[in-house]
A = this chain, B = another copy of it.
Amino acid sequence: MHHALFAFLLFGLFTAPLAAQQSGKTLQEKLGYPRDAKLLIVHADDLGVTHSVNAASLHALESGGINSASLMVPCPWFPEIADYAKSHPSADFGLHLTLTSERVYYRWGPVAPRDKVPSLVDANGYFHHDWSPEARIDPRDVETELRAQVARALAMGVKPTHLDSHQNRLFQTNKDLFEVILRIGHENHLPVLIPRGWFADFPFLEKSLGPDDVVIDRVITMEPGVPPANWNDFYKHALEHLEPGVTEFVIHLAYADEEMLAATRERETWGAAWRQRDFDFFSSAEFQKLLRDNQIHLITWRDIARLNPSHKME
């Protein structure tokens, strides 16, 4: 194929859905801000996984360190956070749809009957630690399990504002799994976390989008390899250089207490000390000052969901 033609087709493929979605306006403009506005969702993941994560995340939510979070329905401490969500219906809580149980000494399994989701469980009935390249994750099992997670959340009084995916499994594995979360989002009238910043690495994301799907500009999250001494600088640099548009900070809060140290002791990544550092930075006056000094406006998934009349909002 002629290179120029190929480039043209490729260009069309990548920009058409975006143009359709945006109708010429950026997301920040649709939200009532100027085109150069810097909008930020400060989002904690993994609520429900342990008591320590719940306690630290709720402390940050109530003191303004975060303004959004998502909940792991299959995890043992989900009832605690569901109880909170039920009695705080204006909190911006999504579902952190979960298909793995990645720790060693503390584990959980599916919400659906495990014989209905055989490709998702290991020999002992837990979710897999990890998905090996040989794992044949059946999208039908994924759909069964996600429906069970949404059903349990609704039954226990959670009214989610958005959907995202633990370890980004549903975003960064393949088109089939992405289409399952997208379908669950559409059926429940909930926006799904889709940052434009992932399109280059995962082209199937953009190809699957319809005209009503919302795309944010980017996710910023702490990377393995950042030394603890540079933790605050990582976030400070991100805030001082934030580009216009809608950004989500994906952070992981917990206290480095006995429960969390034990639950994560086999490795440091996303472990107890990591999460305590996140908690310390996002609870700091420095973080609040960086938001002010850099004219960053906080928004939530509730604001985004309101843009789409099909999205159920209270």
Question: In the complex, what residue of chain B is closest to A54 when comparing beta carbons?
Answer: B262
| Stretch binding the partner chain, chosen from A5-13, A100-108, A286-294 | A100-108
Q: Does A125 contact B (CB under 8 A)?
A: yes
In the complex, what residue of chain B is closest to A259 when comparing beta carbons? B259
Q: From residue 72 to 113 of chain A, which have CB atoms closer than 8 A to chain B?
A: 76-80, 83, 104-108, 111, 113
- CB <8 Å contact, B152 and A125: yes
Give how many A residues have a beta carbon under 8 Å from the other chain's beta carbons. Answer: 34
Chain B residues with CB under 8 A of A114: 113-114
| A104 to B51 CA separation, bound complex (whole angstroms) | 13
Residues 236-248 of A, flagged 1 when their CB comes within 8 A of B and 0 if not, give 0000000000000
Interface residues of A in 193-234 (CB under 8 A from B): none
Are B79 and A107 neighbours in the complex by a CB distance under 8 Å? yes
**Known contacts A125-B111, A125-B152, A152-B125, A258 near B80 by CB under 8 Å:** no
Contact B116 A76 (CB under 8 A): no
Pair A79/B105 contact, Cβ less than 8 Å = yes
CB distance from A313 to the nearest CB of B (A): 25
Supposing A123-B155, A124-B155, A156-B124 touch, asked if A83 and B105 sit within 8 A by C-beta, the answer is yes
Whether B124 and A105, one on each chain, are in contact in the complex, defined by CB atoms closer than 8 angstroms, is no
* A29 interface residue per 8 A CB criterion: no
Chain B contacts for A152, CB-based, 8 A? 124-125
A36 at the interface (CB under 8 A from B): no
Is A184 among interface residues, defined by CB-CB distance under 8 A? no
Is A108 touching B259 in the complex (CB atoms < 8 A)?
A: no
Q: Is the CB of B259 within 8 A of A107?
A: no
Given A83-B105, A105-B80: A262 in contact with B155 (beta carbons within 8 A): no
A257 at the interface (CB under 8 A from B): yes
Q: How far is the CB of A130 from chain B (nearest CB, A)?
A: 15
In angstroms, Cα B31 to Cα A194, docked, is 68
Do A262 and B51 touch across chains, with their CB atoms under 8 A apart?
yes
State in angstroms the CA–CA spacing of A50 and B173 once bound together: 33
A52 interface contact, C-beta 8 A: yes
Which residues of B lie under 8 Å from residue A78 when comparing CB positions? 107
Interface residues of A in 114-173 (CB under 8 A from B): 114-116, 123-126, 148, 152, 155-156
Q: Which 9 A-B pairs have the closest CB atoms?
A: A80-B105, A259-B259, A113-B115, A113-B113, A76-B76, A51-B262, A113-B114, A79-B107, A51-B259
- 18 more A-B residue pairs beyond the given contacts A51-B263, A258-B258, with a C-beta to C-beta distance below 8 A: A50-B259, A55-B258, A76-B76, A76-B106, A76-B107, A76-B108, A79-B105, A80-B105, A83-B105, A111-B125, A113-B113, A113-B114, A123-B155, A124-B155, A124-B156, A257-B257, A257-B258, A258-B259
